[in-house]
Amino acid sequence: MTTHSETAVVRTSKDGDLLVVMIDHPPVNAISVDVRRGLMAAMDEAEADATVKGVLLLGAGRAFIAGADIREFGRPPMHPILPEVCNRIEACTKPVVAAIHGPALGGGLEAAMLRTTVWPCPTPSWGCLKFNWVCCQALAARNVPHR
């Protein structure tokens, strides 16, 4: 595996023709402005590299992305905002797989459901206050591979 780029909280590396995007923002990989910027840069990197055939999103530690960064609550929004990141990931011309382990909450669940495929690892948990469970089930049925 070859390391390509790194921000403080998002790292990318190549594993063959796969761009591996690791979100590492302890303790729960909250989707802070730095994570959002790192995800945007990772999508740009994937699109710019003709040898990349797909993207794998991973969370380091015990969570995929466990929601918003509470340190940003009550402050003016910082760009990119989550909908911009979600739109960028969804627009990626390469297949994107979100490998979910531990919590995928709020914005983390939103980002995961926009993927080409969501691959739940042995210990996933899901949650989002923004839309009801029926909507969540419909999205999961569309994106989660059945075993």
Domain boundaries, the chain: 2-143
Is the pLDDT reported for residue 146 higher than 50?
Answer: no
Give the per-residue pLDDT at 53: 95
Tens-place pLDDT, residues 100-135 = 887 777 767 666 666 555 555 555 555 555 544 444
Task: Give the residue with greater pLDDT, 26 vs 66.
Answer: 26
Q: Give strand pairing partners of 126.
A: 104
| CATH class of the region 2-143 | alpha beta
| 16-47 CB burial, b ≥16 within 10 A, e <16 | eebbbbbbbbeebbbbbbbbbbbbbbbbebbb
Q: What is the mean pLDDT of residues 86-103?
A: 86
Beta strands 54-59; 65-66: pairing state:
unpaired
Cβ contacts of 1 within 8 Å, gap of 6 or more:
13, 14, 15, 20
